[in-house]
Structure 1
């Protein structure tokens, strides 16, 4: 898979949260659940600048997913330059000149849009994060089922340095914590790797198919090591088996390269012995920087996309009989709700999370290995936009809904008070209360108005729309449907049946 995107122009589809303090509970041996946790992004950026970063990232991600020519770095830098000029004028451009055009990256244009003013704990050593059956004990000091992370408030409160909000104790057995990047952007879980097992915070991405963490020898392309992240190698793990087989993956928010290895991994108490995956020897700052709180990434698309040419963990868990089927299911929480109730389940669907009468299962229409469903209709307050033959790539690693410009315009023409900004984005009234809905498999899935009218407000009192337009040619019909929609449905994928399921949340 090729999901590349340039340096300064992206808002991370993937940041991560730090620590998990839920304990695995052996309740359902053929399925395991990891709760999703939320991390608040701390940024002093104007909402429209953040919007442009997200549009740039999602536009390139979708173009590369669908085999079209992606926007160039120059095109995206120019779009960001125009947005800064619009919002902050020439003074803003001058202040950011080096970060936009020079070799030195302005800290306000890092991969997440988050100023690098937070302090993290000292770099984790060999024994940091040892995880036994009693609970997570590592990355940031979580100490078991009731323990909060060092430097954080009680469950539900943000970490003072990272903005991480800790998820509630899972409601389903065999559960650990999975974090959500704010504002409702990316999701991660703590799993264990190596012998003795140590905790690793891993981004869960339904739009890729490779698992990796940093090696003990990892170097940043910007110089130095790969930051304040847990590493894996023969020094820290006695079960680590190296190889000389290289791999390289390019994402929408950076790139990594390294070597294929084998080591034990444990997902919510289920252990895969000598699992094959990757350790990175080189990472771009999008992954290596200290401001990035995750240790690696787990791709949850089909392994036909894998650059490592290896099965995904969920596929391996199913092959080993540890879960019933190679199914991954998502209940994504919304930051504004402050419920911290997001969970990811491997092996089945958690029927306590959705209205079973609304469960809709449709074929995956993507032949490459992404998860893509046919859209029956796109409506606003029940009025059909007239857009036919569209499909939706369902991607947990994308914040917005990004559609062809003409499609996005058709949707906003039915939204009272909406305005196009001339760069692919739209604004809507902050008191927006119309029902935008996607119909899949005959079932209408409405999007909460708060997920369309993104906070905080712009200076003119409007709110940025969660639906944006991207230029991908003249005949494209694919939409990239990210968290703006996925927060509003239970979402599940099945490798064996090659299907996508959606249901209404309860």
Structure 2
């Protein structure tokens, strides 16, 4: 996602992360794990902004992979032409296993931050009707990913959006995008119905996290999925390779949330980091670790995140154009808009 920071604006590209809650950027690329990638994504130099304020307050964030430390600054941040003066964010001084900045869009003030994060600020400044945004990642092979702050794109899904309550707080006491997954299945190529696996106690609490590439489920459930992919072979990294022929087959992995079933095509569920390399989109979560539905799930879903009403809306992702609609405040408001695909 593109952010313009400072006066005059400095363009920085940051990773969108629904699993974290803070925006931070690099001021130089020396600390990045890949200075060349960092340089391509852009940096923010506070000394070149007339509206920059150094708060002299330190920050530190640890991710599933990587960490960053630095200083909080306050400056103007613009997203899609919408200017947000006096926005607080981090400027990195040291980092590990990271190569570009991150925009966390999970719950901010007062649950996870002592200041307004980007979603809070959009609402506080009157730019959105509520703390709501929608995300359609779309295909991994085309640059069609889209985030809409304060609204939805009715040409990115079919049918109606199903409302799913956010577990608030989650089972671990954290304030994140926790929801209950009620079923998991696999509709194999040519099959007329899904082979539904048993989910413990009829529901599994999971986090929706766009900052995680794969999806992580408990070992017992993973073993059931693995049995449907007999050619899968575990690599030294732990990931499971599969024949790339799966990508062109018509099967789907089926995720059930109440009455809504999200059918993720094999073409999106199979992770393809490079041509000729294909991997199962699931990995087993270690005992005690948090189950996560990452990009291998999200590429098949259109997701509306409504912090104000602690709700998620889900529909099957389809891209048939673009038609943006502002969502009014209120419980269930997004359910009124039928997808045009």
1:46 corresponding residue in structure 2: none
Change (3 A) 1:445 1:262: same
Q: Which runs of 5 or more residues in structure 2 are unaligned? A: 188-193, 319-341
Q: What does residue range 265-284 of structure 1 map to in structure 2 within 5 Å?
A: 265-284=77-96
Q: How far apart are the structure 2 equivalents of 1:392 and 1:412?
A: 19
Alpha-carbon distance change, 238 to 470 in structure 1, aligned in 2, over 3 angstroms: same
How far off its partner does 1:191 sit? Answer: 1.4
Instruction: Write the mapping of 1:65-464 to structure 2, written as runs, cut at 5 A.
Output: 189-215=1-27, 220=31, 228=39, 229-233=42-46, 235-284=47-96, 286-287=97-98, 292=99, 294=100, 296-303=101-108, 309-336=114-141, 338=142, 340-355=143-158, 357-367=159-169, 368-381=174-187, 382-387=194-199, 388-413=202-227, 415=228, 417-419=230-232, 421=234, 425-432=239-246, 433=249, 434-455=251-272, 456-457=275-276, 463-464=278-279
Structure 2 distance, partners of 1:307, 1:247, is 13
1:55 maps to: none
Distance of 2:161 and 2:283 partners within structure 1: 28
Distance, in Å, in 2 between the alignment partners of 1:457 and 1:447 is 21
With normalisation by structure 2, the TM-score equals: 0.78
Counterpart for residue 493 of structure 1? 305
- Measured in 2, the distance between the counterparts of 1:308 and 1:282 equals 20
Indicate the RMSD between aligned Cα atoms, in angstroms. Answer: 2.7
For the 8 Å contact 2:299–2:317, the answer to whether it is kept is no
Q: Which structure has the larger Rg?
A: 1
Deviation of 1:378 (Å):
0.8
Residue 112 of structure 1 aligns with which residue? none
> Could you tell me how far 1:488 is from its partner in structure 2?
0.7
Shift of 1:429: 4.6
Unaligned runs of 5+ in 1: 1-188
> 2:79 and 2:56 mapped to 1: Cα distance?
26
Q: Match for 1:481 among 275, 293, 296?
A: 293
Aligned mate of 1:466, from 270, 281, 284: 281
Q: How many residues align?
A: 296
Tell me which protein shows more strand as a share of its residues: 2
Q: Which has the higher helix share?
A: 1
**Contact 1:277 1:308 survives alignment (8 Å):** no
The C-alpha deviation readout for 1:60-99, integer Å capped at 9, x for no partner, is: xxxxxxxxxxxxxxxxxxxxxxxxxxxxxxxxxxxxxxxx
